[in-house]
């Protein structure tokens, strides 16, 4: 017959029955309702999630240091050596092509070309920023660098 809307049921064991506490001796959870005899946990008071038994909690013991700037721009760096290994001579390198090859993460909004490594082929690089040494090495290999506007891509 197949599955129809009126025959749908959750798999066996997916839904547990609610624990009915305090419903008489026959229920095995009568009288103290599984809370034991006396003490803080037997009384009906809920403690905060981070409660540490009265001792000074960790968020008060550990000092606060520094801050995070709201207007901070995270710059993702890519080295010349990686470009040399990933692109053919004469290729155009942009943020989109770097993302497509998995060299730059999706969340990177500003990409900077760094001068680590050697480059042996001419490339046309269109990124947000570049270091001085990266520009020198790129131009020495016959390539060009063009700065594009920064901002969300």
d(CA 60, CA 125): 50
Q: Tens of pLDDT along the chain (153 residues)?
A: 678 999 999 999 999 999 999 999 898 899 999 899 998 888 878 888 889 988 999 999 999 999 989 988 899 999 999 999 999 999 999 999 999 999 999 999 999 999 999 999 999 999 999 999 999 999 999 999 999 998 655
DSSP 8-state symbol, 130: E
DSSP 8-state symbol, 20: -
H or E stretch covering 124: strand 124-127
Domain 75-147 sits in CATH at 3.100.10.10
What is the number of alpha carbons within 13 Å of residue 87 lying toward its C-beta? 25
Instruction: Tell me the whole-structure pTM to 2 decimals.
Output: 0.58
Domain chopping of the chain, boundaries = 75-147
d(CA 44, CA 24): 18
| pLDDT for residue 152 | 59
- How much is the CA Rg of the chain, to the nearest whole Å? 32
């Amino acid at each position: 017959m197949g599955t129809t809307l009126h025959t749908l049921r959750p798999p066996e064991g997916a839904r547990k029955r609610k624990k009915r506490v305090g419903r008489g001796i026959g229920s095995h959870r009568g009288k103290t309702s599984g809370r034991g005899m006396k003490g803080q946990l037997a009384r009906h008071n809920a403690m905060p999630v981070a409660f540490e038994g009265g001792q000074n909690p960790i968020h008060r013991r550990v000092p606060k240091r520094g801050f995070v700037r709201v207007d901070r721009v995270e710059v993702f760096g890519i080295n010349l050596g990686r470009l040399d290994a990933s692109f053919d001579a004469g290729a155009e390198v942009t943020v989109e092509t770097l993302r497509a090859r998995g060299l730059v993460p999706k969340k990177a909004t500003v990409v900077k070309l760094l001068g680590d490594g050697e480059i042996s082929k001419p490339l046309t690089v269109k990124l947000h920023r570049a270091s001085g040494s990266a520009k020198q090495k790129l131009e020495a290999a016959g390539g060009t660098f063009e700065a594009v506007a920064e901002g969300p891509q």
